[in-house]
Every structure is written in C-alpha cells, then in structure tokens.
C-alpha cells in the first residue's frame, strides 16, 4: 500500500514539476515567510500540523484506554488496531478532502 501510494505521488510530482518549471534560469526560491502567503502551502502545512497534533496527543493514552475502558490485557494488540484505525480514517478523510 505504501509503495503504491509513493509511486502514485512520484508520478504526479514529476508531471507537476515539468508543468510548473519556470522558463527563466534565474528563478530564485521563495523565502520561508513568503511560502505561508501561498494558500496551497498554508493549507497543506495546517492540515499536516493538525494531523500530527491529533495523532501524538492520542498515542500516549491508547494503552490506558484499552486497559481501563475496553478491559483488554496489557499485552493485547488493541492499541495497534486503534492507531491503525486512526491512520486509516485520516487517509480516507484526506482522499475525500481533495489531498
């Protein structure tokens, strides 16, 4: 799954790179402050920060949740399944969101 999505991304990125390449050889990269003025970059940055914040705020407490609420033993695979579900849901929301 990961290899297929990476191949799809690289194929699309190569096509976008050829289409967006400037005609001038003297094109300079933008300073990082100006990158945040571009709506596409700002949207990607905000959504990735929110995803990381959501995942890392839940991750330390998954073991406690599965033991206390779901009554799973400490050595169960329930935390991995819950994190897998969170990641799968984020992928689906990204696909439907237009990423």
pLDDT above 80 for 16: no
How does pLDDT run across 54-85, given as a tens digit for each residue? 888 888 888 888 889 988 888 888 888 888 88
The pTM score is 0.49
Structure tokens at 24: 């001038």
Task: Tell me which residue has tokens 């994190």.
Answer: 83
CA distance 36 to 41: 6
| Count of C-beta atoms within a 10 Å radius of residue 58 | 13
Give me the torsion for CA of 32, 37, 43, 47, rounded to 10°.
Answer: 40
Domain ranges in the chain are 32-99
């Amino acid at each position: 799954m990961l290899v297929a999505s990476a191949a799809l991304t690289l194929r699309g990125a190569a096509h976008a790179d050829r289409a967006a390449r400037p005609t001038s050889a003297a094109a300079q990269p933008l300073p990082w402050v100006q990158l945040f003025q571009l709506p596409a970059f700002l949207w990607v940055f905000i959504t990735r920060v929110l995803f990381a914040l959501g995942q890392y705020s839940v991750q330390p407490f998954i073991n406690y949740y599965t033991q206390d609420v779901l009554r799973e033993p400490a050595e169960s695979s329930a935390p991995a399944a819950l994190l897998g579900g969170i990641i799968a849901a984020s992928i689906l929301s990204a696909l439907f969101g237009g990423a």
